Structure 1
Amino acid sequence: MAGTDEVTVVVPAYNEGDRIGPVVRELTQTYRVLVVDDGSTDNTASEAETAGATVLRQPQNAGYVAALKRGFQEVTTEVVVTFDADGEHRPDDIERVVGPVIEDRMDLVLGARTTIPRPSERILTRLARVKVDVIDSGTGLRALRIGLARNLDLDTACTCGTFVLEAAGEGARIGEVPIETRTVQKPRGIAWQHGKQLIHVLWYLLFS
């Protein structure tokens, strides 16, 4: 089993004070955990630290993508895993996405959810499939080589579609494994950024 010497789990978090503690406690049983507090106005940072994570604080809310990029710059292990802060993902699935990377069979492995909640995410994934054969381009659970992670520009509205398209442009070997998610009681607002993301995905398909 891969552990703290090989893998760092990066958890972007914004106002997840009610959920981040249990998430970190599960993860730190096996992995190094780096929480990037994205300018939260609640106790996200202190809860994450108490639970055992190393915490990086963004001075203001800059968004999920900016938090990921900050985390990638600070990771010192060869493999990095991205993991959502809300408790949706199961730590047991990390080994499944990490394995092919550590075994040098893949450079990026996505944890494909059985259900993708937002129609806009499904549309963006269908577009991304023009170039990359994946079924869940917007998953928050991924494992990848740190060198690849740092080479990605990630200058788009979110990661849906473009994360895998950009990785493919870097020549990455991309794989996918099915995962089960847990039900999380939290409001899901309208993902307005997916309108901008559609333009980004189309740009990658046409010009990259």
Structure 2
Amino acid sequence: MSDTIPDTEFSIVLPAKNESLALKTLLPALRERYPNAEVIVVDDGSDDDTADVCRNAGAIVVSHPYSKGNGAAIKSGVRRASRPYVVCMDGDGQHDPADIDKLAARIAQGYDLVVGARGTGSQASRSRWFGNQVYNVLASWAVGQRVEDLTSGFRMFRAKLFREFLHLLPNGFSYPTTSTMAFFRAGYTVGFVPIEVAKRQKGSKSHIRLFRDGARFLLIIFRVGTLYSPLKVFLPISLFFFASAVAYYLFTFMTTGRFTNFGALLAVTSVLVFLIGLVSEQITQMLYASNRSEE
């Protein structure tokens, strides 16, 4: 097995919206270090000269007539990519092109998805770091494996496997969340390598809002959890209602000497939630069996 993946074997996809200043520096650096890589920039409805800068730098440009979102840009880029491996990185200059070597080396070891895991010093703020840690813990619980950085957009993967999940990926900023959890739950091999992220270049700004998109990240974690491991979500809820039913029954029996309708409601709810989770688990298993039979 090779020690790394040569640049003739991978495409580099960069979603960009009004990132012309950063791309003037980033694209030449990518071309110099990986002269044979296929570089694809998805211009997500920019109103500056992003597309012209990319074409002048020799990159393939996929243009959206209006802004569809970061996830939609990634999907367009992956569909356009012609190489067996794809690297996704931000177009704002935060990611170091040299770190692609780390991802490629891990992919060459047999991993299907490798994510660049940011250290504490690479987070934009303490609140952003704390939020990401919460997401990592919840995602680790949902997939049963340690997730070191759920929201990092710097990653390399096998294009064929990633395309299996394109229909699941949201068009917004949470495609890393969904794709990472999907790879884990599908049984593919996921690895993490430490990276440092630079500050955004002048003229580039984040399109993520902590509280608004934080709620969306949490929703996506539970949505993907119920899609890929339903019982891990439904069983704790069922146990909560069952424990509540028992506790309420003991309370009412000790105080009034009878079993109330509300206690019965809690018990029935516990059973119903468990059965819904069980049926969802069976549907999930059939979905995977169908996907594998089509390969």
TM alignment of 1:5-154, pairs within 5 A: 5-29=8-32, 30=34, 31-103=37-109, 105-115=110-120, 116-117=123-124, 118=128, 119-130=130-141, 131=143, 132-152=145-165, 153-154=167-168
| Residues 108, 142 of structure 1: 8 Å contact kept | yes
Code of the residue aligned with 1:121 in structure 2: it is N
Structure 2, unmatched stretches of 5+, are 229-295
C-alpha displacement of 1:160: 4.5
| Structure (1 or 2) with the greater strand fraction | 1
| Residues 137, 163 of structure 1: 8 Å contact kept | no
Of 204, 221, 224, 1:201 maps to: 221
SS in 1 for 2:94: coil
C-alpha displacement of 1:27: 0.9
Please identify, of 173-182 and 118-127, the stretch whose mean Cα deviation from structure 2 is larger: 118-127
Separation in 2, partners of 1:122, 1:21: 33
Per-residue CA deviation, residues 184-206 of structure 1 (Å, 9 max, x unaligned), is 24444524223122111112223
Please identify, of 51-60 and 79-88, the stretch whose mean Cα deviation from structure 2 is larger: 51-60
Of 185, 190, 196, 1:169 maps to: 185
TM-score, normalised via structure 1 length: 0.91
Per-residue CA deviation, residues 103-161 of structure 1 (Å, 9 max, x unaligned), is 4x200000111133324333222211112312111111101001112111343341243
C-alpha displacement of 1:166: 1.1
Amino-acid identity (%): 30
Larger Rg: 2
In the alignment of these two chains, the number of paired residues is 207
Please identify, of 57-66 and 155-164, the stretch whose mean Cα deviation from structure 2 is larger: 155-164
- Note the aligned Cα RMSD (angstroms): 1.8
C-alpha displacement of 1:25: 0.9
2:209 counterpart of 1:190: yes
Separation in 1, partners of 2:176, 2:157: 16
TM-score, normalised via structure 2 length: 0.66
Structure 1, unmatched stretches of 5+, are none
